[in-house]
Amino acid sequence: KQEVTQIPAALSVPEGENLVLNCSFTDSAIYNLQWFRQDPGKGLTSLLLIQSSQREQTSGRLNASLDKSSGRSTLYIAASQPGDSATYLCAVVPLGDNDMRFGAGTRLTVKP
């Protein structure tokens, strides 16, 4: 069964720093991987979707990479801002499966 792990569980950085969040998955047979942001008590906001045939996707200060063979994805946030503080979740859709498998998330705090 596909398992998704996110490290670290929590991260605190000063404003302006570049940072990397990690996501690993146990089975490389996936359709896609998606990164989400979740603010406290709220739903999930889609950030980036990487299809299995792609290596990376970029949106503004965010860049997500996918190395399917090693079962890893990273989310790079450039020039972090206090407004980036949230929990970041990654999810994969396994081949032959019906739903997304989520990691437990990384709780990011960006200090002014």
Partner 1 sequence: EADIYQTPRYLVIGTGKKITLECSQTMGHDKMYWYQQDPGMELHLIHYSYGVNSTEKGDLSSESTVSRIRTEHFPLTLESARPSHTSQYLCASSELGRGNTEAFFGQGTRLTVV
Q: List residues near partner 1 by CB under 8 A.
A: 31-32, 34, 36, 41-46, 49, 51-53, 89, 91, 93, 98-100, 102-105
Which residue in this structure is represented by tokens 């929590």? 10
- Of 69 and 99, which has the nearer Cβ to partner 1? 99
- As a whole number of angstroms, the distance between CA 50 and CA 35 comes to 9
Shortest approach of partner 1 to residue 2 CB, angstroms?
11
Q: Which structure tokens are listed for 64?
A: 């997500």
Q: Which of 52, 22, 49 is nearest to 34 (CA)?
A: 49
Shortest approach of partner 1 to residue 4 CB, angstroms?
9
- Of 34 and 80, which has the nearer Cβ to partner 1? 34
Shortest approach of partner 1 to residue 18 CB, angstroms?
26
**Do the Cβ atoms of 26 and 71 come closer than 8 Å?**
yes
